[in-house]
Amino acid sequence: MKLVVSILLLTATPALAGGVLSEDFRISSKTLGYDVQYRVYVPQGAGPAENLPVIFTTDGYWFVKALHMPKVLDRVIESNSISPVVAVFVDARDPDNLQVNRRNHEFYCNPQYLQFFVDELIPTIEEAYPVQRVRDARTIIGLSFGGLNAACFGLLGYETFSGIGMLSPATHPVQTLLPTYEAAPKLPLRIFLSTGWPGDNTATNRKFRKILKKKGYEMEFIQTRSGHDWDNWRPLIDDVLRFFYGAASEE
């Protein structure tokens, strides 16, 4: 397996000096057959000896640009609202042509996309950054179809991820998703689920919540008064981070 990691390894040490969001790194994926770019946030003061949890976001470009997640991380970590965490922002766009977005191909319960994380991306992050190398330290979050992807990773990748965060998941491309969660035994997952109102797949996501609650999952569900848009999701970044990494989550 050939990975493009030289730039990452060369710049990892300066990044650990504190509070940084890296530039774009590129990984050449044998599994997917194309390059994927991503950025990494390392909390202030983290050093090579740290053993931090790690959160992965799909649609990483928008989590940085529109949701300002690195700034939120700085704020909630500095205020001790959450434990320090490394964040990996995975970009679904073609790095050679940013007008081409691969999310519809990648996010619909695509087993190759999960395998890319398991075999290529996660080992690369673990080699270069001070993160824990266990499933209990890994969370995947996404919005809309990215929320669908997180739900798929919950079913297909629960041995790799312990937390799944779903902001307004648009689950309709995979009609079997909710029935599969309903029929499957309870999986070792902690789940964050949100939906808006109106016009945000609200009925389906309320049904999803009922299924997960009946199964007995540890979860947080939030319904906002916004639609399927940035105004809905932006305030929820605090809630997602506090659910997975806040003091209450460690008790």
> What structural domains and CATH numbers belong to the chain?
6-246 (3.40.50.1820)
Q: Residue 13 — pLDDT band, cuts 50, 70, 90? A: very low
Tell me the per-residue pLDDT of 58-108, one tens digit each, with 9 for 90 and over. Answer: 999 999 999 999 999 999 999 999 999 999 999 999 999 999 999 999 999
Q: ∠ at Cα 68 (135, 107), nearest 5°?
A: 50
Tell me the per-residue pLDDT of 152-208, one tens digit each, with 9 for 90 and over. Answer: 999 999 999 999 999 999 999 999 999 999 999 999 999 999 999 998 999 999 999
